[in-house]
Structures are given as C-alpha cells and as structure tokens.
Amino acid sequence: MTCELILGGARSGKSRHAEQRAHDSGLPVTVIATAEAGDEEMAARIRRHQLDRPPHFHTVEAPVRLAETLKQEAAPGRCIIVDCLTLWLSNLLMEADTLVSAHSADTLPLFSRERDALLATLPELPGTIVLVANEVGLGLVPEHPLGRLFRDEAGRLNQAVAERSQRVVFVAAGLPLVLKGG
C-alpha cells in the first residue's frame, strides 16, 4: 500500500493536486467524498468538485463510515482519493453539538470509534491511497469550545495520518511542497 497525505488551506489547490497525482498514477480512480449537502451553498460546492473531476473517476459518498468504505473500495491496482478528512472530522464532531460538556473528543463515541478504525485500517489497505485534509492550525484560536475541539482534533488526526503515510505534501497557492517522502 502507498499512502499520501495532501494538506493545505481552503482553496489552496490540494484537491486538484490529489486528482493530478491520481491521474498520473495511471490506475483506475475512486473518489471517496465525505461532504454532505446540508445547505444550498454546500450543495453548490459539491457540484463544483464533481464537475472539476475527470469523468472517468468513480465517486462514492462516505460522510461517516470512512474506514468501512476504504476497506470496500481499496484494491491492488486502484487509486483511492479521500476528499476530505476535514469534512469527515466535522461530520463526526457534529455529535458534540448535543453534548454540552464535550471538552475532549475521547468522550464522543462515534468520533472515537471511527477515528480509531481509520487509523487502524490505513496500514492494511491495498493499492494507492491519497488523503486530502485542511491544515487548520495556522490561524486564530477559535472563540467557541466546539471550534477549539475541531481545530485540536484536526491537528491530531493530520499528525496521525502523516505518521502512517509514505508521502506528505503541503499545498499553498497551488504549489506543492513535499514534507515527507519523495
């Protein structure tokens, strides 16, 4: 298995870079999309991503059960793009909205179960896996506890995935900077 993590800010070009890496692999490509169209603005963003993708890329939606979907889709001779881990994390942390005292993600059963499953599954997957995630730790400290929880868990998730990846790239202004691997 080859695993690559592509990090960047909003509109940095990270998804485009992931798609180019997948295209250049010469393998059949499946995109695992984690976004949910909760409102019209998000629906428009999803449509934009769909239109930007090459038509031969197969898309599967997995807003929550990412490890399970990766196990079903990953195969030797196939490239999987997960776009993106940050939206997946957001979907999982939505359970924190109902927990007034969610100061730690470890108190969130869905999040803990799915995060642990993903981290355990990644090293076992066949094929090529390209994971896209936002780098959210470069800005201001969020005002609200849920925002701080999100920022902290995104940073922890990115670190854990980077540790399990052979290659890590940071994209800014459409330009890739290799942080790990060749």
Q: Is residue 156 marked as binding?
A: no
Lowest mean pLDDT segment, chosen from 96-100, 111-115, 126-130, 132-136: 96-100
165 is in an annotated binding site: no
Is 14 annotated as ligand-binding? yes
User: What tokens does 111 get?
Assistant: 């999040």
**3-state secondary structure at position 123:** helix
As for how many domains the chain has, the answer is: 1
Tell me the catalytic residues: 49
pLDDT at 107 exceeding the cut of 70: no
* Residue 36: predicted pLDDT: 85
pLDDT in tens, 3-20: 999 999 989 999 999 999
Name the nearest CA neighbour of 4 among 155, 127, 114, 136. 127
Confidence of residue 129 (pLDDT cuts 50, 70, 90): very high
CATH code of residue 13: 3.40.50.300
Q: Domain residues for 161?
A: 2-180
Is 90 annotated in a binding site? The answer is no
List, edge to edge, every strand of the sheet that includes 29-33.
58-61, 29-33, 79-83, 128-134, 2-8, 167-172, 175-180
Residue whose C-alpha is closest to residue 3's, from 177, 169, 165: 165
Q: How many CB atoms lie within 10 A of CB 15?
A: 20
